[in-house]
Amino acid sequence: MTVLDTELRPAEPPRYVVFWQRYRRNRAALLGLILFAVVVLMALTAGLVDPGDPLRRAGLPLIAPFVDAANPLGTDQLGRSILSQLFYGARISLLVGVVATLVSIVIGIVIGALAGYFGGWIDDLLMRITEAFQTIPNFVLLLTLVAILGSKIEWITLAIGIVSWTAPARMVRAEFMSLRNREFVDAARNLGVSNTALIFREILPNALPPIIVYASVIMALSILLESALAFLGLGDPNYASWGNMIGQGRAVLRTAWYCSAIPGVAIVLTVLSFSLLGEGLNDAMNPRQKQ
């Protein structure tokens, strides 16, 4: 190859450009990105829509949607604005989803990395612990933790993260077992790199793509779990959340269906956005995907 051929060769686009080109090929993933952006926008603008307390009384009880200009989506049985609670509930859903996902991913990475890298009795011990957690249904374990820790939103979020780490741990373990004997790991080991550096600097970055994709699934499940707790009356009553809205609205479901239906649609669309985002991330991060 001549110097002229090298100079005439077009420069490769940056990685983020290639990533976006792969992602946007999936139209469903673009829809998920738009839905996610709407939820984030709702959370960011909640204070602008209603700068006061979303749990305060805003009008007469059970005003139907599109009847009162001051309450476009109506009010619940206590006279609280559904629109205000909907926007502030987006904050709670995103908070629970992001923090619980981080907690579960961190726990899963630590346990899966140790089990997959060292193997032997460490692997056996950690996998038996993982299997013990998996024998208990997630929601049953979550109810137990909430009963012990309390119903504050901080403890609920932590409890959701604790019950969601087993799947990430198994994924990380599988990735580490396939990467720990690769040539670049052996080369770093021969240079005297410590086990800690091998785990977190050499192997973990190459094992992250499937974990990042699966994080969208955990976020969706976290929102559903928080909503289920709130529906059962175990949520934090000091915050406006979509689950609380559905749980309180079921008492007037026959006469004011919108009290439960509106937050229910918000939950469905938010969970759908995470599912579509995960699909798009999988397409964009798959090394076998054609450019």
Of all residues in the chain, the percent with pLDDT exceeding 90 is 45
Measured CA to CA, the distance from residue 230 to residue 261 in angstroms comes to 15
pTM: 0.88
pLDDT on residue 4: 45
H helix runs in 25-81, sequence order: 27-44, 46-49
Helix (H, G, I), strand (E, B) or coil at 75: strand
32-66 per-position pLDDT tens digit: 999 999 999 999 999 888 888 898 998 899 989 99
Please tell me the number of Cα atoms within 13 Å of 23 on its side-chain side.
19
pLDDT of residue 30: 92
> According to the model, what pLDDT value does residue 291 have?
45
pLDDT at 1 over 90: no
Quickly state the pLDDT bin for 290 (edges 50, 70, 90): very low
Q: 3-class DSSP state for residue 201?
A: helix
Per-residue confidence (pLDDT) for residue 65, from 0 to 100: 92
Q: How many CB atoms lie within 10 A of CB 255?
A: 9
Average pLDDT (81-91) is 93
Residues 269-285: pLDDT tens digits?
999 999 899 888 888 87
Q: What is the residue-averaged pLDDT of the chain?
A: 87
* Single-letter code of the amino acid located at 284: A
Per residue in 215-247, pLDDT tens? 989 999 999 999 889 888 888 888 888 988 988
Looking at CATH, the fold of the domain delimited by 28-285 is given as MetI-like fold (1.10.3720)
d(Cα 256, Cα 262) in Å, to the nearest integer? 11
Largest CA distance in the chain: 80
What is d(CA 10, CA 13) in angstroms, rounded to the nearest whole number? 9
